[in-house]
Amino acid sequence: MTSAYRKLPAVDTLVQLLEQRFQEDSMPRHLLVNAARQSIDTARKAVTRGEEAPSTEELADVAFNQARVLGRPSLRPVINGTGVIIQTNLGRAPLSHAAIQAMEAVGTGYSNLEYDLEMGARGSRTTHVTALLCHLTGAEAALIVNNNAAAIYLTLITLAAGREVVVSRGQAVEIGGGFRIPDVLRQSGATLVEVGTTNRTYVRDYAAALSLQTALLMRIHTSNFRLMGFVHETPLHELSILGQAHAIPVLDDLGSGTLLSTQPYGLAPEPTVQESVQAGADLITFSGDKLLGGPQAGLIVGQQTLITQLRQHPLARAVRVDKTTLAGLEATLLAYLNNRAPDDIPVWRMIAAAPDQLQKRTERLVALLGSEHATVVESTSAIGGGSLPGETLPSFAIALTSQRPDKMAHRLRLSNPPVIGRIVEDRLLFDVRTILNEQEEAFIEIVRQAVLA
């Protein structure tokens, strides 16, 4: 056993080998020392278990990979060939060029984040974007927080702590990341009162549950699943009439939330924020980084008196957004104001892409690949991000044939930038709908190398 330990190199010896390997890419010496020590410590533990000591070259390989991974960013751009437009695992909505430019402009210098230029005195970050959001939705007031989960939680803890919130049994759902509405209600201090049945809930069910303890009537849009068949959901305007009659606010959680109608693009109708405002909802919550197509944010619009209460709650400071988010969100909303969303916002540009255009683009990319292993196939794209469940768009994809498509997929995931596809019937597919135009050159080069390897 002692002789096996002696086979392990000294840290300095391993560091010298690493320095030779990193000649072209400068790497801080302390990272190399740390990687060398970790690899040697791991080898010692293996020897203790009775395993054979690795060679110095093998240890250098391990330490080299450790140092290289530690020395480069972990969060990196990827090429999304999955066909899922709002891919949660891949960062949801890609931002428009205008949003990126706006975020860079305020992020690289000072800004009037909390400074009133007219008065020359301290201002409030809550005033940015809100007027624009109110104009687009028709709401009286608005508040921006860091995501929709925070928007819901802030609303519940402000308006319903210690009281009851009435929700349809079919809407007491769990969304992504194990975020369960009943759990959120409990954490906020509110009590959940379920009414109706899983598949059918009427306004009379809500009315029967009202009491002096009722703080809110809540509708939750089931954006990540759909009930079919013998179902009935209480229309929002009926719920609003009931709330107004009893002076109880109605909270409408739209989840993803959209400012554009989805039907012109061949998709099922998704309730818009404007429709919820018109139907009489007192507060509406939705996301900024899904169908809206902006940075991560939780948007709350509704009655001025209620928004003021939310803004004054101590938790509002904990969930507020930073200057770059506000800048990116404002640029995104300006695209809607100027009727440029389908052209400027990547999510909507992808949704609007016509199948014949996608087919021509796929054929062009396959020709550029110049490989017999690459062909054009029909495909379907999904919206993703908990939006429009079951809805797909006809599309086209590049299909790569390989004896081991899983190995090729793994190789492409480790490329720079990583290329992500999906395996269907032993072929690796890349749906061109979600491959950004500016990534085409990198995509062709990386896939060509993978096919030739």
Listed in sequence order, the DSSP H helices in 213-272 are 236-245
Q: What percent of the chain has pLDDT over 90?
A: 63
DSSP tag of 432: G
* Cβ-proximal residues to 295 (8 Å cutoff; 6+ apart), any chain: 95, 99, 103, 288, 289, 324, 325, 328, 329, 332
Confidence tier at 303 by pLDDT (50, 70, 90): very high
Q: Based on the domain organization, do 331 and 352 belong to the same domain? A: no
User: Burial of 423 by CB count in 10 Å (0-12 exposed, 13-18 middle, 19+ buried)?
Assistant: middle
Q: Based on the domain organization, do 134 and 214 belong to the same domain? A: yes
Cut 0.85: pTM above it = yes
Confidence tier at 148 by pLDDT (50, 70, 90): very high
Confidence tier at 297 by pLDDT (50, 70, 90): very high
Q: How many helices (H) and strands (E) does the chain have?
A: 19, 18
CATH number at residue 424: 3.90.1150.180
Q: Based on the domain organization, do 207 and 308 belong to the same domain? A: yes
pLDDT tens figures, 408-428: 999 999 888 999 999 998 899
Query: Is residue 23 predicted with pLDDT exceeding 90?
Result: no
> Do you know the residue count of the chain?
453
Identify the CA nearest to 7 among candidates 67, 59, 49, 62. Answer: 59
Q: Which residue type occupies 398? A: I
Q: Based on the domain organization, do 43 and 160 belong to the same domain? A: no
Q: Based on the domain organization, do 164 and 184 belong to the same domain? A: yes
Q: Which residue type occupies 387? A: S
The rounded distance, in Å, linking the Cα atoms of 448 and 453 is: 9
Contacts made by residues 124-132, CB under 8 angstroms, sequence distance 24+: 125/320, 125/321, 125/323, 125/326, 126/311, 126/320, 128/326, 128/330, 129/326, 129/329, 129/330, 129/333, 132/330, 132/333, 132/334, 132/337
Q: Based on the domain organization, do 313 and 403 belong to the same domain? A: no
Q: What pLDDT is recorded for position 25?
A: 63
Confidence tier at 101 by pLDDT (50, 70, 90): very high
Q: What pLDDT is recorded for position 340?
A: 96
Query: Is residue 253 predicted with pLDDT exceeding 80?
Result: yes
Per-range mean pLDDT, top range of 16-30, 340-354, 403-417:
340-354
Which one of 344, 366, 389 terminates a domain? 344
Answer for the pair 65, 58: CB distance below 8 angstroms, yes or no. no
Q: Based on the domain organization, do 36 and 66 belong to the same domain? A: yes
CATH number at residue 156: 3.40.640.10
Q: Based on the domain organization, do 58 and 123 belong to the same domain? A: no
Q: Based on the domain organization, do 394 and 261 belong to the same domain? A: no
What number is the average pLDDT over the span 331-343? Answer: 97
Q: Based on the domain organization, do 105 and 15 belong to the same domain? A: no
Q: Based on the domain organization, do 116 and 172 belong to the same domain? A: yes
Task: Pull the structure tokens for residue 241.
Answer: 């009439």
Which one of 325, 344, 363 terminates a domain? 344
Q: Based on the domain organization, do 302 and 286 belong to the same domain? A: yes
State the chain's mean pLDDT as an integer: 90
Q: How many domains does the chain have?
A: 3
The rounded distance, in Å, linking the Cα atoms of 176 and 210 is: 30
Supply the range of the domain harboring residue 430. Answer: 79-88+347-452
Q: What pLDDT is recorded for position 243?
A: 97
Which one of 22, 37, 70 terminates a domain? 70
Q: What pLDDT is recorded for position 205?
A: 93
